[in-house]
Amino acid sequence: RSLSSRASVPRVSMPDPFPVASPPLSEAKRHRTSTRGASPPLEAMSISRAARMAGNEPQQMSALEAERRHYRPCVPAVLRVRVRAEPAQERTTCVSHEDLIASAFPTLYGSPVVSLVPADETDTSVAPRPLRVGCVLSGGTPAAGGHNCICGLFDHLEAFHPGSTLLGFRGGLRGVLRNSFTKLEAATVERHRNSGGFFMIGSGGDLIETEEELALAVRIARNNSLDGLVIIGGSASNANACLLAERFAAEGLAARVVGVPKSVDGHLKSEQVELPVGFDSASKLYSELVGNVMTDCTSSRKYYHFVRLMGRDASHLALEVALRTRPNLVLLGEEAAQQSRTIAGLVGEVADLVAERAAAGMEYGVVLVSEGLVDFLPEVRNLLRELDGALAERDAQDSNSYEGLSDDWLSSALSPPAFAAFSLLPEGSQTALLEERDAHGRVQVAKLESERLLGELVELELERRAAAGSYQGRFSVQHHFFGFEGRCPPPSNFDATYSHALGLAAGGLVSAGASGVLATLRGLTGPPEEWAPRGVPLTSLLAAERRRGRDVPLIHKAAVDLEGAPFRTLVSRRGGWRLARSFASPGPVQFDGPLADEISVCLRLERGEEVPEAAVAPLAAARLAAPPSLPSLLEGDAALAVVAGAVPHAAADELFVAQQLPTTAGQPRLEIVSGRLAFRHATPLPLLGEAPLVIGVVFCGRQCPGAHNVAVGLTHFLQRRGGEGAKLLGFLDGTRGLFGGRAVELGADEVAPYLNGGGMDLLGRSADVIRTAEHYELAEATCRRCGLSGLVLVGGPVSNSDTALLAEHFKQRGVPTRVIGVPATIDGDLYCNSIEASIGFDTATRVYASLVGNLATDAASARKHWYFIRMMGRTPSHLTLGCANLTQPNIALVGEELEARRMTLCDIVGELADAVEARASEGKHFGVVLIPEGLIEYVPQVNALLSEISAALKYRQRMGDTSTDRYKVYTAILPLLTPPSAALLASLPPYIRRQLMLERQASDDKAQLSQIETERLLAELVRVELRKRRAAATATAEWAAPDARFAPVCFYLGYQARSSMPSTFDANLGYALGHAAGALVGAGATAYMASAHCLTSPPSEWRLCGVPLFSLMSADRRAGVAVAVIRPAQVSLASPTFRRWSAVRERLVMADLYCNPGPMQLSGPLAAGPSPGRVQAEHAERGRDVAEAQAICREVSAACWPGCSGDVLRTALASLRALREHLDVLEERDQAAMTNPVGSSHRRITQVTHEQMLRRDN
């Protein structure tokens, strides 16, 4: 069902502007029309983009946005010619409340469905005269495809009504009332083709309801001589379109009103409306995120993930995502309502699932919850109905109706059952229900965190069962809400094609004289050329709904049909998911390749198709058939050699590091080369001895895309070069499996299903901790018992620090196992000149940047929210900085810079408030702020507080205080803090206090940064600061203070990416480093890290090396003990990556130059190479420069042969001696810079011995 080609369907003859199909992205350059002008090849675009990143100019659009502009959707055959409206014979009725609807719409009610059919050449009713048509993007929820609706409308007018004018009313329907519009020219339309969001003209949730507003709309339509008005929106917006059509007809206006169905959550559907615009893109994005969370779940095997999906009024998204991903339990509101479920009943059902899985040895799982679940429960629905009415009545009496609401008022305003249900909710949920309501006067159920509510209540229920002896498991829960991320992604191929065709249909309906109809297409599961355009009377979709205390006509919201094929399919399959150990991970939306044109599973089932449950998601299956690329030296069976190079210095504290690692410090760098190309002046170390290699692999660090390919690379290396009988042993559950000797043999068949797969679920992981003497002894015993030639540990800085210390222990004890580290961390903090990239960072940057781009697009579309987005990444800010350069938010906080500027929390909040006020002064009440996960560690007073809390918690542990009661913990540690820290802790919100006092991480004994909601804290502090400023301005009569309306929405981007399918770059990198690790073991090397260089070149040109682990290490403390470690690399404020951001950020505060990199592409031209971020900016020329330098060295060596002239020899010697001196000076400078860094309050890097460090610490 390709949306970009239809060879079996005859081409309909018609000139511009509709090509029958869009070519694949890889062939797009050959198919671009001459009117668009020649575009540079993708390689040139990447180079120019890299040049901009090095300069002072922000990007105008991402590579994907630029490429998607050239995609031309298929066009239904009937819409390629002039059309007329052919009415059906039958009159229509409404969904319900016929008397109310018929009386409200006397002119339109009963109108028949009209079909668009080719018009005769003699039909004068559709003569090609110029038209003036207005369009509106309406509703509070933007959706992917809205822009293409406008593009289709524009294309229809250009093709069949030359000289027409298309007016885009700005900001939704309020733009109509304000007569605020922009004339949409071809250049504007072209710039927004196939892009997400509604930012072309903006959107809004305002409606035209009162008599005064309707009269004003009539006057504006008449004054603008409108022939038509196209409203692209959801149920409320299209009900408003019906109201306008009725009024325009009654007033005798020529303007025809046509609606276009838009709904992210899919509730705007019926027998006549197969699917709304935006649902396909949103469901695919949510499926990707849920699949990533599921892979993360099966990798760590320690959490239950409760995931809430957007969809207040219907559970279509949850149903679609469940069918794609197969969660252990899915809770749909419609089913709960049918069964009259209660909150207690749902809690019991989830607790039963947890108990069943615990009995089967699985203390992890995924529960999918529809957003409106609690809204469907009879007891909660009754509560919300009463609360709506009570707050509406209070609105009429008191403008400050949301302030000062007491229990007494609530108990008197609500019935006893409703008040009892309200009292059952946690405090945060109660507050959410009483906050400001949405544009339609409803309580904002989206703020009622049903996933958190369920998680808390299930935890209490399991504690009760444990006390009663009926449950013995462990329950830890993580909560997620996926909503705003899916509203404005780049539209999928289906949505791009569908929305463009709807725009064409809307234009055809206007030109054919139809009014009060909704543009629809039938046959969506068939070829787009065969889609049949229709106009469905809006009155036929109407029912009455209670709004602000009265019944009003609205489009009926279609709930999930519990008798329909999609739900029946779910019921037939979900029993097998309940105790499943694995899930389905659909991966990111693709725009190129055979899977780019996938259609909604629910839609196919509704249309009678069979959709079998595949064992593996289609994209994952395709990735299994796409072997990664290798450096050319590893291709074939040519002999390999490992060549020794120079001996590097330690990163810092060289004397201390040498004392800690007496047998492994001072090793040379190694490079893996072809045996026949080994340098003549170096002695190659032979690969392999007599015995076959037996290598063990352990996933130590946090989940990381591409880690599986390390295991696959090791397996394939051993098959080809490990000797007869070589084998790979994988240790289960990370370091726990290593200590316990629990291993499985990994052959080609075992690793094949995990090729190019995300997460670490092949083996699982636990904690990256190899610390104590007992750990060393257990690891040694396992290696000896298994006869391991080598042990490969995969992880980040902490894991590779353990690798170095374990290798030292083995060498001192004479253990024959060689220990090799592989850099794998999404945080990007295992980075230096020796390590150009770690596995996973590229993927994480791409996935997070895609989500940030979606949110930024949403902010620019709705223009009413400030998005505070916290990025995973532990202490360093690499991910935040990388995403900032790719997406260009208004503000990105870089922790390392804040520390260098010695900024306090008040300083940060003040600068954020300044930005909010500055944008508000230009009418921009929206923006995007990126916040690194480790931000609070860079704020001096908060960092001091964290250190004191850690010390206090250890003291409590030593004293035998094991209480987990949050209040008792708080009261116990408060007296142990210094007065400034105690005052700071007491001043923080309760939820932040609880998060700061959580148990410390085992890996680094630090606070659990991922659990500290820094974004929420900053948003609340900014809100308080703005209130203070407004109060001060009022007190001093400074009425010019800007009206800084501030509506923050907070996000944490963490689990969405760390177990994603790896990017092509990370898949290649992991596979290559797996081979490199095997080669290092075969060469007898130990205490090395496998690394790859020249990574901006094609993989065939990559160079594989072994970096001595001691060269990455310096002194630090672990649990108060001095030890050599690899410190996480901080963002360098002198790096090209930071300089690029620093050069553009001042402009970005006020400008809205957001870029959306779009979903990660795994095929086509956008899949190759690293993302245009750190590697491109800082290593773009390294491969070329290294090759040139080595070539010059070989030329000099060849020229200085024994028979050369004395002048040649003396000139060469003088130049080389000078060069050596210069290099020595540079190396000494670099060493001094690393030993004495500028401005680092919480890092200690000094040249000390072990004894000196202990004396200083005491």
* pLDDT, greater one: 515 or 374: 515
Would you give the DSSP letter of residue 138? B
Find the mean pLDDT for residues 68-83: 95
Find the mean pLDDT for residues 986-1001: 74
Find the mean pLDDT for residues 820-824: 98
Least reliable range by pLDDT among 60-64, 620-624, 944-948: 944-948
* pLDDT, greater one: 1056 or 967: 1056
Task: List beta partners, residue 1108.
Answer: 1088
Question: Does pLDDT of 1254 surpass 60?
Answer: no
Q: How confident is the model at residue 4 (pLDDT cuts 50, 70, 90)?
A: low
Strand, helix or coil for residue 996: helix
Find the mean pLDDT for residues 536-557: 87
Q: How confident is the model at residue 1090 (pLDDT cuts 50, 70, 90)?
A: very high
Least reliable range by pLDDT among 53-57, 264-268, 750-754: 53-57
pLDDT digits (tens, 9 = 90+) for 642-668: 889 889 999 999 999 999 999 999 999
Which pLDDT score, from 0 to 100, does residue 26 have?
34
Which pLDDT score, from 0 to 100, does residue 1038 have?
57
Question: Does pLDDT of 1210 surpass 70?
Answer: yes
Which pLDDT score, from 0 to 100, does residue 681 have?
44
H/E element, 695: strand 694-699
Neighbours of 732 (CB within 10 A): 20
Residue spans of alpha helices (H) in 107-145? none
Which pLDDT score, from 0 to 100, does residue 1003 have?
54
* C-beta of residue 335 within 8 angstroms of C-beta of residue 318: no
Mean pLDDT of the chain: 86
Which pLDDT score, from 0 to 100, does residue 313 have?
87
Range 461-469 contact pairs with CB under 8 angstroms and sequence separation of 24 or more: 461/347, 461/348, 461/351, 462/351, 462/354, 462/355, 465/351, 465/355
Which pLDDT score, from 0 to 100, does residue 42 have?
30
Spell out the residues 6+ positions from residue 361 whose beta carbon is closer than 8 angstroms to its own. none
Least reliable range by pLDDT among 123-127, 366-370, 454-458, 466-470: 123-127
* C-beta of residue 926 within 8 angstroms of C-beta of residue 862: yes
Question: Does pLDDT of 300 surpass 50?
Answer: yes
Task: List beta partners, residue 1105.
Answer: 671, 1091
Would you give the DSSP letter of residue 111? P
* C-beta of residue 952 within 8 angstroms of C-beta of residue 1061: no
392: left (phi over 0), alpha (psi -120 to 50) or beta: alpha
* C-beta of residue 55 within 8 angstroms of C-beta of residue 85: no
* pLDDT, greater one: 955 or 243: 243
Which pLDDT score, from 0 to 100, does residue 40 have?
32
Spell out the residues 6+ positions from residue 637 whose beta carbon is closer than 8 angstroms to its own. 720, 721
* pLDDT, greater one: 1170 or 1193: 1193
Strand order of the β-sheet with 727-731 is: 684-686, 640-644, 670-674, 1103-1108, 1088-1093, 818-823, 790-795, 694-699, 727-731, 743-746
Q: How confident is the model at residue 735 (pLDDT cuts 50, 70, 90)?
A: very high
Residue 1082 CA to residue 1076 CA, distance in Å, equals 10
Which pLDDT score, from 0 to 100, does residue 664 have?
96
Find the mean pLDDT for residues 1013-1030: 90
Q: How confident is the model at residue 387 (pLDDT cuts 50, 70, 90)?
A: confident
pLDDT digits (tens, 9 = 90+) for 391-411: 777 666 654 444 445 667 788
Residue 1115 CA to residue 1126 CA, distance in Å, equals 8
Active site residue 265: yes
CA 322 to chain centroid, in Å, comes to 19
pLDDT digits (tens, 9 = 90+) for 1099-1147: 999 999 999 999 999 999 877 788 999 999 999 999 999 999 999 999 9
Which pLDDT score, from 0 to 100, does residue 337 have?
92
Spell out the residues 6+ positions from residue 208 whose beta carbon is closer than 8 angstroms to its own. 173, 176, 177, 214, 217, 240, 243, 244
Find the mean pLDDT for residues 6-10: 33
The percentage of residues in the chain with a pLDDT greater than 70, rounded to a whole number, is: 87
Question: Does pLDDT of 1039 surpass 70?
Answer: no
Which pLDDT score, from 0 to 100, does residue 1002 have?
57
pLDDT digits (tens, 9 = 90+) for 879-918: 999 999 999 999 999 999 999 999 988 899 999 999 999 9
Which pLDDT score, from 0 to 100, does residue 1037 have?
61
Find the mean pLDDT for residues 52-58: 55
Which pLDDT score, from 0 to 100, does residue 438 have?
58
pTM of the model: 0.89
Q: How confident is the model at residue 768 (pLDDT cuts 50, 70, 90)?
A: confident
Which pLDDT score, from 0 to 100, does residue 1185 have?
81
Question: Does pLDDT of 73 surpass 90?
Answer: yes
Find the mean pLDDT for residues 694-720: 95
Which pLDDT score, from 0 to 100, does residue 39 have?
32
Q: How confident is the model at residue 847 (pLDDT cuts 50, 70, 90)?
A: very high
Which pLDDT score, from 0 to 100, does residue 23 have?
37
Q: Which of 155, 206, 227, 265 is an active site residue?
A: 265
Task: List beta partners, residue 795.
Answer: 823
Question: Does pLDDT of 339 surpass 90?
Answer: yes
* C-beta of residue 105 within 8 angstroms of C-beta of residue 539: yes
Which pLDDT score, from 0 to 100, does residue 44 have?
30
Find the mean pLDDT for residues 778-785: 97
Find the mean pLDDT for residues 162-189: 96
pLDDT digits (tens, 9 = 90+) for 1235-1251: 544 334 333 333 334 44
CA angle 1230, 1231, 1236 (to 5 degrees): 100
Specify which of 2-16, 449-463, 916-930 reaches the highest per-range mean pLDDT: 916-930
Find the mean pLDDT for residues 963-986: 76
Neighbours of 1213 (CB within 10 A): 11
